[in-house]
C-alpha cells in the first residue's frame, strides 16, 4: 500500500520465526492482479526475506505443503467476500488456521486485515456492509477509517445497531499486532495514523482512540 514507506513491512519481518523468512503473498482478493504481485516483489525484494506468491487462479498442487514452508503470509486487498469464498472452496481457510497455530505470521492490508476477525466492514458488494470473516481474532474490524469518508459513520452505525460486534477501526497506516488472540501492540507507518476501539454502550457509540507507536525508518536515529 505504501511502496515508498516499508516501516510496517520491516516490522512484520522482525516478528517472523526465521531471520531470513519465506514471505508468501496471497493476492486472491484482487483476482491475482499481476500489477499487485509485481508491487509486492518490488517491496519485499528489497528486504531481507525470500518472497513468493500463491495464485489460486493459476496454481495447483499441495496447498498444505506450500503454506507450511512459509514463515509469513501476507494477504492483499480487494474483494473480501470473493477471497473468503475461494479460500473456503479449496480448504485454504483451515490450512491458514493451522499455520497460524504453528507460529506463522498472518498479516495483510484492507481485505487482508479484516479477514482474520470474526466480522469485518466490507465494500465487497458495492456498499459498506457487515460480513462474517474467519474468526481467528475476536470482534470486528474496519480498515480505511480515515481514508474513505463513509467508513466511520457506517462502522459506528452498524455497531450501534448490533449488526457488528465491538471492535477496532484502523486509519491507513495503523496496524494491530496480535499474539494469539490478544493485542500486544499497536503500531503505525504514518505519524498521524491512529486506531480506535469502537463499542456500543447504553444505546450510544463509544469511540476510544489508541495512539500507536510510530515505527522508525531505517534512517531514523
Q: Are 109 and 77 in contact (CB under 8 A)?
A: yes
Residue 213 is a catalytic residue: no
Task: Please tell me the distance from the alpha carbon of residue 26 to that of residue 78, in angstroms, as a whole number.
Answer: 11
**Catalytic residue (choose from 30, 110, 140, 189):** 110
Can you give the length of the chain in residues?
A: 221
**Cβ neighbours of 88 (radius 10 Å):** 12
Distances (CA, A) of 201 to 15, 160, 207: 36, 8, 10
Q: How many C-beta atoms surround the C-beta of residue 5 within 10 A? A: 14
Active-site annotation holder among 30, 53, 124, 144: 144
Residue 110 is a catalytic residue: yes
| Cα 46 to Cα 23: distance, rounded to the nearest angstrom | 13
CB burial readout 170-195, b (16+ within 10 A) else e: bbbbbbbbbeeeeeeebbbbbeebbb
Which three cell numbers mark 37?
Answer: 504481485
Query: Which three-class secondary structure state does DSSP give residue 154?
Result: helix
Which active-site residues does the annotation give? 110, 144
Amino acid at each position: 500500500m505504501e511502496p515508498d514507506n516499508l516501516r510496517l513491512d520491516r516490522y512484520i519481518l522482525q516478528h517472523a520465526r526465521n531471520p531470513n523468512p519465506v514471505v508468501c503473498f496471497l493476492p486472491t482478493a484482487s483476482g491475482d492482479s499481476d500489477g499487485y504481485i509485481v508491487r509486492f516483489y518490488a517491496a519485499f525484494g528489497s528486504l531481507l526475506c525470500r518472497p513468493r506468491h500463491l495464485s489460486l487462479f493459476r496454481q495447483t498442487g499441495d496447498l498444505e505443503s506450500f503454506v507450511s514452508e512459509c514463515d509469513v503470509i501476507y494477504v492483499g486487498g480487494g474483494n473480501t467476500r470473493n477471497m473468503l469464498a475461494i479460500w473456503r472452496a479449496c480448504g485454504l481457510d483451515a490450512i491458514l488456521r493451522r499455520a497460524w497455530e504453528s507460529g506463522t505470521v498472518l498479516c495483510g492490508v484492507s481485505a487482508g486485515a479484516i479477514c482474520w476477525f470474526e466480522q469485518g466492514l466490507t465494500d465487497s458488494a458495492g456498499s459498506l456492509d457487515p460480513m462474517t470473516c474467519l474468526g481467528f481474532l475476536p470482534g470486528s474490524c474496519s480498515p480505511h477509517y480515515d481514508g474513505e469518508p463513509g467508513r466511520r459513520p457506517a462502522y459506528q452505525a452498524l455497531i450501534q445497531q448490533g449488526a457488528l460486534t465491538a471492535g477496532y477501526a484502523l486509519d491507513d497506516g495503523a496496524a494491530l499486532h496480535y499474539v494469539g488472540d490478544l493485542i500486544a501492540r499497536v503500531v503505525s507507518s504514518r505519524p498521524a495514523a491512529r486506531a480506535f476501539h469502537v463499542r456500543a454502550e447504553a444505546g450510544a457509540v463509544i469511540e476510544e482512540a489508541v495512539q500507536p507507536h510510530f515505527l522508525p525508518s531505517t534512517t531514523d536515529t
